[in-house]
Chain A
Amino acid sequence: MKRETGFDAARRAYLVEHGYDRSVWPSLVTLVCVLSLLPSYTSAQAPISAPQDVRVFDSPSDGGGSLTVQWAPAPWDGPDVRYQVLVGDAAATDPVALTIIAEFPSNTRYLKDTKTAWWTRKVDKTWHQAFIKSAKGLEVKDGTSYAVAVATVQSDRRAFSQVLVASPSPDWFNWNQLNNLIIAVSFGGLVFYSISHARRNEIFLRRIPGLDAVDEAIGRATELGKPILYLTGAHDLHDPSTIAAAVILGKVAKRAALYETELIVPHREPITMAVCQEITKQAYLEAGKPDLFKEDANFFITADQFSYTAAVDGIMLRKRPAANFFMGAYFAESLLLTETGASTGAIQIAGTDSDHQLPFFVTTCDYTLIGEELYAASAYLSKEPVQIGTLRGQDIGKAVVLSAIGIGIVLATVGVVTGAQWPQIFLDLVRDLK
């Protein structure tokens, strides 16, 4: 026997509460009387009626070109009974004249199946919902009115709802993402509070071995009289990891300038190259060694993944840099680069948020900055209160996420075990956060 799910229970409760499914006995007596009067071939079919409480309106929180139809669940909802959604010109009053744009079993297309948050729902999630959008033979235009009806279908019988008129229009805010906005703004506020707190108080910063090794690597290159190779990754400046790599480049370039060690920065993207040239130039100025700055320390090779890899591998083998830095985002080239670097005996420090490449970096590099450590590097190397404050904000953010995960696990478990609906209200708050 099939076990009743939480949704089934909620649907049944809704039907009883709203009078769609009353006590069984009066219905049963009526049914027996009706059946005795009907020919035997109709006795297998339950009586159907038109969909109840049909609502048609512009789809909320969208870019336009869509209407939403909602109607109440019915006691006969099941695989044998079907629903039809019909659309036509606004002037149409006869539902038979409308075009069928969707037909589906009556136990499908519930509000719960759509990705809407509870704060945007105006009806119970046990209601049916269908969208009317442009498709083959139908163009749904903003500002144009359309006549819409829903029909219940069983065999050759159809029962139509009344014809309703609505027109689609675009919206200026997606209310389904309100939770996302609130959390983003709260996190931003937290970061700025942490920055102001860090200006007034000293904050402990845990050691990151990979960043402690930066000085060691540059010092080693200086002792050996060999250059330092610095890569900023595969992405352009759209990616925060490339920006983080460029920021760390500034710190590394400053040390390299102080130690008067050659710096080589080959690039895959010209705009990143131009930005890194400025960063390097400023680093040499700050180090008081502007005369040592070389314009061609940063140079472009190619945007092609493996051509770039071959070129950098060639540089490693010919110039034998004593320290290799791999910061930013990487793909399949990561192992080709680091394994070649390891074969030259260079000290290698990697930092990436490309989680799928981390195993390669960990196995081939001396130190690896894992994920967020790449973003923390700037604060760690500069020791500026503003930067360190940001780290504190991130840590508090992580604690909040961790707590939310813990509470979410408990609530989801309670929801499943007891069949209660209330945990979903809390779970929706952290759903679809991107």
Chain B
Amino acid sequence: MIFLRRQLPLLITLITGLLFAAQYYVPHPASEQMLTSATKWLQIIGGFALILGVTSLFHQHALKIKRQEAGWGYSLVLYAGMLGTIAVGLWANGKESVDGAMTAFGWIYNYMMVPLQGTMFAILAFFIASAAYRSFRAKSREAAVLLVAAMIVMMGRVPLGEYLIPVSGDVSSWILNVLNSSVRRAILIGVSLGAVALSFKIIFGVERSYLGGGKE
């Protein structure tokens, strides 16, 4: 059992890890074919895993309804929404429109799903304002620097700001292209090295806690 639970997954990780790392350096069509096949496999596995996810979701909300936990009404809404969408989706054969006419499935997507997603995204504007208000209060030296930099960039990025303070456009571009870019690149170098080091650790079995922890 220990072989199946620990050694076999580590062996598979080692072989596939080295294989797909090497794939990057091999331009031969066979190498591309291998990558395409693996990607398809992953898509198929992902499809089956979705069953696992949906089962988890149904189970979670069924328990809430059964126990009548706080907000169990939302779980009922989830059940109704999901089962209703599946039903109309099957009825419409998964098509949003037939011969130019919108199906019920298309209606749900265009007039319920899309506006709800748009609403969530639109809330972001208010959240940015509230987060900016909290962060830009000049309570410390760092916050003051942040406030000044943000004001300059904001002025430089809108036509009215640049009209009122012409130099703000150039200063704003300098802040973004020189200061901001160099810091971003420094972060990216660190991230890349960290990701490569983690990949090495996983491929060679040094890091194995993703298998469920433990040290055998």
Interface size class of A (residues with CB under 8 A): 35 or more
**Contact A371/B50 with A306-B120, A306-B121, A339-B130 known, Cβ cut-off 8 Å:** no
Q: Whole-angstrom distance from the CB of A114 to the nearest CB of chain B?
A: 15
Among the listed A237, A302, A363, A387, which residue makes an inter-chain contact with B135, where contact means beta carbons less than 8 Å apart? A363
A84 within 8 A of B: no
> Does the CB pair B191–A372 fall under 8 Å?
yes
**Interface 9-residue window, one of A35-43, A56-64, A216-224, A417-425:** A56-64
A184 within 8 A of B: yes
Q: Chain A 364-408 against B: per-residue CB contact (8 Å), 1 yes, 0 no?
A: 100000111011101000000011001001100110010000000
**Interface 9-residue window, one of B26-34, B100-108, B154-162, B164-172:** B26-34
Among the listed A240, A243, A250, which residue makes an inter-chain contact with B213, where contact means beta carbons less than 8 Å apart? A250
> Does the CB pair A336–B127 fall under 8 Å?
yes
**Contact A397/B193 with A306-B120, A363-B132, A378-B209 known, Cβ cut-off 8 Å:** yes
> Does the CB pair B25–A177 fall under 8 Å?
yes
Among the listed B25, B29, B193, which residue makes an inter-chain contact with A64, where contact means beta carbons less than 8 Å apart? B29
> Does the CB pair A279–B57 fall under 8 Å?
no
> Does the CB pair B57–A301 fall under 8 Å?
yes
> Does the CB pair A279–B131 fall under 8 Å?
no
A139 within 8 A of B: no
Q: Find residues 232-262 in chain A having any chain B CB closer than 8 Å to their own CB.
A: 236-237, 240-241, 243-244, 246-247, 250
Measured between alpha carbons, how far is A233 from B151 in the docked complex, in Å?
31
CB nearest to B133 among chain A residues: A363
Measured between alpha carbons, how far is A79 from B150 in the docked complex, in Å?
49
Measured between alpha carbons, how far is A364 from B60 in the docked complex, in Å?
30
A415 within 8 A of B: no
Measured between alpha carbons, how far is A370 from B184 in the docked complex, in Å?
11
> Does the CB pair B211–A61 fall under 8 Å?
no
B52: chain A residues within 8 A (beta carbon): 270, 273-274, 300
A6 within 8 A of B: no
> Does the CB pair A243–B50 fall under 8 Å?
no
A386: chain B residues within 8 A (beta carbon): 206
CB nearest to B136 among chain A residues: A363
A113: chain B residues within 8 A (beta carbon): none
A278 within 8 A of B: yes
Q: Whole-angstrom distance from the CB of A16 to the nearest CB of chain B?
A: 37
**Interface 9-residue window, one of A104-112, A121-129, A168-176:** A168-176
CB nearest to A61 among chain B residues: B27
**Contact A355/B200 with A310-B120, A360-B131, A372-B194 known, Cβ cut-off 8 Å:** no
B116 within 8 A of A: yes
- A/B pair count, beta carbons within 8 Å: 197
Measured between alpha carbons, how far is A307 from B74 in the docked complex, in Å?
14
> Does the CB pair A281–B212 fall under 8 Å?
yes
> Does the CB pair A172–B131 fall under 8 Å?
no
Count chain B residues whose beta carbon lies closer than 8 angstroms to a beta carbon of A.
64
Q: Whole-angstrom distance from the CB of B215 to the nearest CB of chain A?
A: 9
Chain A interface secondary structure, helix, strand, loop or mixed? Answer: helix
Measured between alpha carbons, how far is A358 from B196 in the docked complex, in Å?
21
Q: Chain A 266-292 against B: per-residue CB contact (8 Å), 1 yes, 0 no?
A: 010111011100110111011000000
> Does the CB pair B213–A286 fall under 8 Å?
yes
A299: chain B residues within 8 A (beta carbon): 56-57, 60
> Does the CB pair A353–B193 fall under 8 Å?
no
**Contact A318/B71 with A247-B209, A273-B53, A300-B53 known, Cβ cut-off 8 Å:** yes
CB nearest to A339 among chain B residues: B127
B1 within 8 A of A: no
A181 within 8 A of B: yes
Q: Chain B 122-160 against A: per-residue CB contact (8 Å), 1 yes, 0 no?
A: 011001101110110000000000000000000000000
A347 within 8 A of B: no
A74 within 8 A of B: no
> Does the CB pair B188–A171 fall under 8 Å?
no
Measured between alpha carbons, how far is A323 from B103 in the docked complex, in Å?
44
Q: Find residues 173-216 in chain B having any chain A CB closer than 8 Å to their own CB.
A: 184, 187-191, 193-202, 204, 206-207, 209-214
* A-B contacts, 17 listed (Cβ < 8 Å): A63-B28, A63-B32, A187-B193, A195-B206, A269-B49, A273-B53, A273-B56, A281-B212, A286-B213, A332-B124, A335-B124, A342-B131, A370-B187, A372-B187, A375-B194, A394-B193, A401-B193
Known: A173-B26, A187-B197, A363-B135. 14 other contacts (CB 8 A): A64-B29, A170-B28, A174-B27, A181-B25, A184-B21, A195-B206, A247-B210, A279-B209, A282-B212, A309-B120, A314-B74, A335-B128, A353-B195, A397-B193
